[in-house]
Amino acid sequence: MIIKVCGLNNAKNYTDIIDIGVAMTGINFYPSSKRYIDQGTLPPKSTEQRVGVYVNATLDYIRSSIEDYNIDLLQLHGDESVNFCRKAQQLKPIIKVWRIGATIAWESMERYAFADYFLFDTKTKGYGGSGHHFDWDVLRGYKMKVPFLLSGGISPDDVDRILNISHKMFGGVDINSRFEVEAGIKNVELVTSFIAALKKGDRCNTK
């Protein structure tokens, strides 16, 4: 199971999170976000994969951030077109985000089935970081072959629910606001205990 910790924008906190053994980190390049990196410097990469988080960004901006921050994957969290996503995928593997409400337009999602991952987040007025769940049961209708990450208000109390997810395309979780001391800075102890609990109950390798 992949563990992705998103919205990190503090160098020391980033290092502390990496020391836990997290597989993916999310670096927010959306200027309107409270977790925007804002020219902050990050420590050298270790074994983690760095995910750049973008909302309707330009390809030129994405290219420059890949070089400046050593980005491995692109999380497209806005209203990016199929054509744009294909072009972005020529730069790095992509995670296409879907904001989930009461219903899901599966036919729209199918046009993006070339993505390397999907990420399912809670539909809000903004773009993520709401701290709220959506109804995970709607994902029973997901039939595509793209592995997905689950996001949207995941908290330390969700360990049992996560471990009970049996969908064959479930790849892991993306955690953010419910593990924060303040926007952009995670509670290292909470993240550590959450990962330990998942590892204890997961039959597969949890990273």
pTM score over 0.75: yes
Count of alpha carbons within 13 angstroms of residue 92, beta-carbon side: 22
Domain 2-201 listed as CATH 3.20.20.150 = no
Q: Where are the domains of the chain?
A: 2-201
What would the pLDDT profile of 164-193 be if each residue is shown by its tens digit? 999 999 999 999 999 999 999 999 999 999
77-130 per-position pLDDT tens digit: 999 999 999 999 999 999 999 998 777 888 889 999 999 999 999 877 665 555
